[in-house]
Chains A and B, each alone.
Chain A
Amino acid sequence: MLKQIEGSRAVAEAVARCRPEVICAYPITPQTHIVEGLGEMVKSGELANCEFINVESEFAALSVAIGASAAGARAYTATASQGLLFMAEAVYNAAGLGLPIVMTIGNRAIGAPINIWNDHSDSMSMRDAGWIQLYAETNQEALDLHIQAFRLAEELSCPVMVCMDGFILTHAYDRVDVPTQEDVDAFLPPFEPRQVLDVADPVSMGAMVGPEAFTEVRYLAHHKQLRALKLIPQLSAAFQARFGRFSGGLVKPYRTDDAETIIVALGSVNGTIQEVVDEMRDAGTKIGSLGICSFRPFPLAQVREVLQHAKRVVVIEKCLAVGLGGIVSDGVRNALSGIVLKGHTVIAGLGGRAITRAALRQLFQDAGNDELEQLTFLDLDADLIQFELEREARARRSGPTAEAILRRVGTVASQVA
C-alpha cells in the first residue's frame, strides 16, 4: 500500500509486519521515531503478541534482545551513534553467540564533539563485530531491507544491522509502498531458532573457550558471513519475486558498463551521485557509480567485477579512519588487488555536512582531469584549518578546539562572549 510517511514510520511499519516478539526501546536521535512508532502499535493492539520494553540504556536494550532471542523470540531494537558504542560489548556478544537479532542504525556521527547529524562513523565502529551490515539508499529500500534482514538473520543465525542515514532518510517524508501482512508472512516464516533455551532440552550457552578452540569459533563466524554473500542475492531475488521490486542485494552498479571513472559510495548519497552521473553522461563523460549495499560481508568479487575495467575509482566515504584515511576504500582496494588503476578517497558529509551536486560535479571533473589528490576532504575550509593550527601553535593551553572553531565560524551562540 502506498503511503507518504516519514522514513522512520516506514521502517516501523515494516518491522511490525515482520511479527517481532520482543522490541527494546531506548531513545536516541535520530532513530527514536522508529521505536516510538512501534511502541504505539504495540500499545494500541495493532501489533499483537509483542512485548515492548522501555529499557534504561542501549546496553540494556541489546542485552534484553539477546535474552529474548536466546529464548526463541524474534527480537528487534534500534540505536545510533553514542548508543551503539554504549552497547558495543553486547554487539560483539550477540554476534559471538549467533543470535539473529535485527537492529536499525540511524546513522549518526560520534562525539566528541557531540553531533546529532548523519555520517557513518557509528556503524563503521562496529564493522568487525560480526554483524551483517546492510546500507539503505532510499526510504523504500530501508523498509524493504528490514523484511529481508529478519529472514537473513534467522537463516544464518547471525545478527543483522540495517543502516539508514539519520535525518536524510529517517526524517524525510517520502512515498513508500508498505507491503501487506500476507505478503510478508509468505516471505518470512516464523522464527525457528538454531539453538534455544528450552526446559525440555537444556543446554549451556556462552561457554568460555580457550586457545584450543577460539580460532575455530572465529573462523566459523567468518565462514558464516561468506555464506551470506550467496544468501543475500538469493533473498533479494526472492523479495523481488514476491514484492515486485528490487531491493538490497550486494551491490548496485549504475551506468558502469563502459565507465572510465566509477564513484563508489554507501547509503543515501548514492541518489545524489546518480543524478550527477546522469548530468555528466549527458555531457559525454564516461562515468558511472557503484552503490554498495552489503558492507559486511564485503562483496569483494562483485566490486572487483564492476570496477576492474575502469581507469579510476573515487570512493566517497561518510566516515574517517583517523590517522589513515578511508575505511570503505580499504575494502575497495582489497577487491582490486592486482589491478592497477587510480584510486581516490574522498571524505565527505561528516557530521551531517551537505553533499551538493555542484561539489560532486567539481569533484568528478577533477578526478577525470587527474587533478584529485589521493585523499581529499570534500569542502574543507582550508582557511579555518590554517587559522586553528596557528592558534594552537601559539600557546600551550590553547583551549578546546571545537569551541575555537565555532567562534571563528561565527555561530550565534559563540558570539555571546
Chain B
Amino acid sequence: MELQTVKFYQTGTFTVGNRLLAEDERSVQANMDRTNSLNSGHRACQGCGEALGARYAIDAAMRATNGELIAVNATGCLEVFSTPYPETSWKIPWIHSLFGNAAAVASGVAAAMRVKGTPGVRVVAQGGDGGTTDIGFGCLSGMFERNDDVLYICYDNEAYMNTGVQRSSATPPAARTATTPAVGREPGNVFGTGKNVPLIAMAHSIPYVATASVANLRDLERKVAKAMEIAGARYVHIHVPCPLGWGSLPADTIKVARLAVESGLFPLFEVEYGEITGRTPIRRKVPVTDYLRLQKRFAHLFNVAGEGRVAQIQAIADRNIAKFGLLEEARTHG
C-alpha cells in the first residue's frame, strides 16, 4: 500500500488553531488565555492591519516572557488609536514618548531593568515605518550599534498613515500617497528611492533580524518568540496593510498581506549576526498584479501608461525571489 505521511493538522498548519491540535502546537492567538495586549475599544479603522499585527506580536512576546514585558511606542497610528485620553487599550506597561525616539527610550528602559536587578523584564519598542525608517532612524541605529537588549518591532504600512497617508522611505515604488500623488509624468512614488531597513539592520550585524506578515501568524509568532530568546538588539519588521491608506477593502487586509508575500514583493526571511539564516518559502506564487489590483493606491498602474511600471514591480518581486530563494524548500525548521 502506498505510504502517506499523515499530517495531523491539515488546517492547523495554516489556521490560527484547530481543535484537533495539542495546545502547544497551536498559535498563541488560539489560546483562550492569550493576553490580548491590545484590547477592544481602540479607535483603529475597520480592518486595521497594524492593530492585528500589534496584538499578534505583543501577545507572542508576553507568552515568551511569561508576562514580563514593557512596551515603548513611537507616535503614530498605533499610539494614537490606542491611548486617547481617557481610554487606553493596552493591558501591559506601556509608554509613549516622541515620534523619533522609541528605540532610545526602550534602551533606557532596558538599562533601568538591568540596574534595578530585574533583567528578566524585557523591553519591546514599536513604531510605524515613518517612526522607524525616517525620523527614528538615528535612534534605531544607535540602539543596534550598542546592542541594547531591545526588540524593535516596526509595523510597516508603507506611509505616514496617521497624518493622512504621506510618503515615507518605506513607501513602495509607484504607490500613490498624499505627497506622491498619481499625477504627472511619473505618478505615484518614484522608482529608485526607498530604504530597506531589514537589510540595514542586517548590516549592523545585530543578533537577530526578521521580516514577518500578518498573513502568516505562526511564522510571525515563531519569530517573535525566537527573538525573545536572544539578548541584545533585535529587529522584526512586520508588513501590515492599511485599508484606508492603501485603498483596499477592510475585509481584504489579510488577503492583501498574503498576496504581498506570495508574489515575492514582501520576502519573509531571518538574519542572524549579519547572515541570512532562514526564509519562509512562497507556497503558491502569484503575479504582482494580483496584489496590486486590490489596492486603489496602485490603480493608476492599470491604465494605458502603466504597463511598463507593473513590469518593473514584477522585476523587483522576481529579484527578491531569486535573492532569498523563496521558491526553494524551506531550509529552516518550520
Contacts and interface: CB of A to CB of B under 8 A. Distances in A.
Partners in one complex: yes
Interface of A: 21-22, 24, 49-51, 53-57, 59-60, 63-73, 75, 89-90, 93, 97, 197-199, 201-210, 213
Interface of B: 67-70, 72-73, 79-80, 82-86, 88, 90-98, 100-101, 104-116, 121, 138-139, 141-142, 145-146
A70 B93 CA distance: 10
24 contacts: A56-B138, A59-B138, A63-B98, A63-B108, A64-B108, A66-B101, A67-B106, A67-B107, A67-B110, A68-B108, A68-B112, A70-B108, A71-B112, A90-B98, A198-B93, A199-B68, A199-B70, A202-B94, A206-B83, A207-B84, A207-B85, A208-B80, A208-B83, A210-B85
Given A90-B98, A208-B83, A210-B84, A202 B146 contact: no
A199 B112 contact: no
Give the most central of A66, A71, A73, A93: most B CB within 10 Å. Answer: A71
A203 B93 contact: yes
6 A-B pairs closest in CB distance: A67-B108, A56-B142, A206-B96, A63-B104, A71-B112, A73-B112
Contacts of B115: 21-22, 49-51, 73
Given A70-B105, A90-B97, A197-B109, 18 more contacts: A21-B112, A22-B112, A56-B139, A64-B104, A64-B105, A67-B104, A70-B95, A71-B108, A72-B112, A75-B108, A89-B101, A197-B70, A199-B69, A202-B94, A204-B82, A204-B83, A206-B73, A206-B95
Given A22-B115, A209-B85, A197 B95 contact: yes
A21 B116 contact: yes
A193 to B, nearest CB: 10
A57 B104 CA distance: 10
A60 B84 contact: no
Nearest to A61: B104
B97 A60 contact: no
Contacts of B88: 204, 207
Given A67-B112, A68-B109, A90 B101 contact: yes
Contacts of B93: 197-199, 201-203
A335 to B, nearest CB: 35
Nearest to B107: A64
A72 B97 contact: no
A256 B100 CA distance: 49
A73 B115 CA distance: 8
A207 B109 contact: no
Contacts of B70: 71, 197, 199
Nearest to B69: A199
B90 A68 contact: no
Give the most central of B83, B84, B98: most A CB within 10 Å. Answer: B98
A55 B148 CA distance: 11
Contacts of A56: 138-139, 141-142, 145
A67 B124 CA distance: 12
Given A67-B72, A72-B112, A202 B96 contact: no
B267 to A, nearest CB: 29
A203 B85 CA distance: 13
Given A64-B107, A67-B95, A202-B91, A207 B116 contact: no
Contacts of B82: 204
Contacts of A22: 108, 111-112, 115
B110 to A, nearest CB: 8
